[in-house]
Amino acid sequence: MIVVTGGAGFIGSAIVWALNLRGLDDIIIADDLGTSDKWKNLRGLQFKEIITKDALVAMFGYDNDETLEMDEDEVLDDIGHAESNLGIEAIIHMGACSDTTERDAGYLLDNNYGYSKFLAINAVRRGIRFIYASSAATYGDGSLGYDDNEDELEKLRPLNMYGYSKQLFDVWAKREGLFDIIAGLKFSNVFGPNEYHKAGMRSMVVQAFEQIQERGTIRLFKSYLDDYADGEQMRDFVYIKDAVAMVLFFLDNPEVCGIYNVGAGKARTWNDLANAAFDALGKKPRIEYIDMPDQLINQYQYFTELKMDKIINAGYARPSTSLEDGIADYVKNYLVGGDYLDALDPGAISIS
């Protein structure tokens, strides 16, 4: 049995989709659906059960108020000593608040840091493979580079509280010596089907598609640095099908542990993204450049390009999908028809 936290969310539901394509459906999804539309991501997917975060905590014999009161000094002493793994082979922990503009630090600490610690402790105690989502937001302004080197973790300075909450867990896991037995994945700018519920946090690809359909133009932020022309700010965009293929690599290879980047390894501009979206729809590019909101100016990343040598050296060999091919697959096979990832349809770009 595999537990996927955040399994109704963007990356989590895509992981369930990928597991289904392997013929696996002994899956427990742990997620709180709330009032959003992310429940739609589950239609067509096969899984054993969907439970809440609190119910998952209860599976390990605790109530939610106890998750931050565990004796962390005993983590390593207890590895593999618990009486049972509860039939769980792996916990793929994607559940988190991923809103980079969230200002409630207490909420982020509880949800992204405390809950992650609880799951990691219980996984290693019971000999359960633990794979979790970190974030490229931990790299901050990129002045220290984008190298997934555990030795450099403490030097990183995230630009927002979301990134800091992820950084706190990474540093805690390193301090406890857990990177010998768990895997943390620093996701870059992921785009693709099943992100529709994320409102303002959806990728620019789906927003670009909607803008083209509504007004025939795409709006991009102006640049506030002389080194970058408008729309020439750069990101490491990774297609969701590549991202989940990397996650499954860590599931298949439990001996591969530590912190790893999950990206394309090649920076592309926002103008490239916009042009690819227009091309996928067979339309001539029309781009407008607009002012950036004040709250973003001082925490905006102008360049991200994740180093991918580490995962490649660990044995991951799948070629990265180009930005153009990923956008074409997303637009033509999902956005135009309004389709979600479906266990019965691998789509034009397979993950095998």
Q: Give residue-wise pLDDT tens across range 248-258.
A: 999 999 999 99
Take residue 315 and report the two structure tokens written for it. Answer: 């044995």
Q: pTM higher than 0.75, yes or no?
A: yes
Kind and range of the H or E element at 129? strand 129-135
The CATH number of the domain where 114 resides is what?
3.40.50.720
**41-63: pLDDT as tens digits:** 999 999 999 999 999 999 888 86
Q: Is residue 23 part of a domain?
A: yes
Catalytic residue among 162, 164, 196, 260: 162
d(CA 240, CA 41): 14
pLDDT in tens, 270-295: 999 999 999 999 999 999 999 999 88
Helices (H) and strands (E) in the chain, counts: 11, 13
pLDDT tens, residue by residue, 308-320: 999 999 999 999 9
| 226 domain residue, yes or no | no
Any domain includes 326: no
* Active-site option among 40, 198, 310, 332: 198
The continuous run of DSSP H or E covering 327 comes out as: helix 323-330
Whether the CB-CB separation of 212 and 218 falls below 8 Å is answered with yes
Average pLDDT over residues 229-239: 96
* Position 221 in a domain: no
Is 90 a domain residue? yes
User: Could you tell me which residues come within 8 angstroms of residue 46 by beta carbon, excluding any fewer than 6 positions away?
Assistant: 20, 25, 27, 343
The DSSP code for 321 is P
**Spatial contact of 240 and 193, defined as CB atoms under 8 Å apart:** yes
Domain assignment present for residue 157? The answer is: yes
The owner of tokens 């002493």 is 77
**In terms of C-beta distances under 8 Å and separation of at least 24 residues, what long-range contacts does 335-342 make, across chains too?**
335/193, 335/206, 335/209, 339/193, 340/40, 340/41, 340/43, 340/44, 340/193, 340/194, 340/196, 341/13, 341/14, 341/17, 341/41, 341/44, 341/45, 341/193, 341/194, 342/17, 342/43, 342/44, 342/45
Higher local confidence (pLDDT), 72 or 232: 232
For residue 239, indicate whether it is catalytic.
Answer: no
What is the residue range of 89's domain? 2-195+237-266+302-320
Residue 53 maps to a domain: yes
Known active-site residue 198: yes
Looking at residue 68, its pLDDT comes to 47
Tokens representing 198?
């994320």
Domain count of the fold of the chain: 1
Q: Is the pLDDT of residue 263 over 50?
A: yes
290 in a structural domain: no
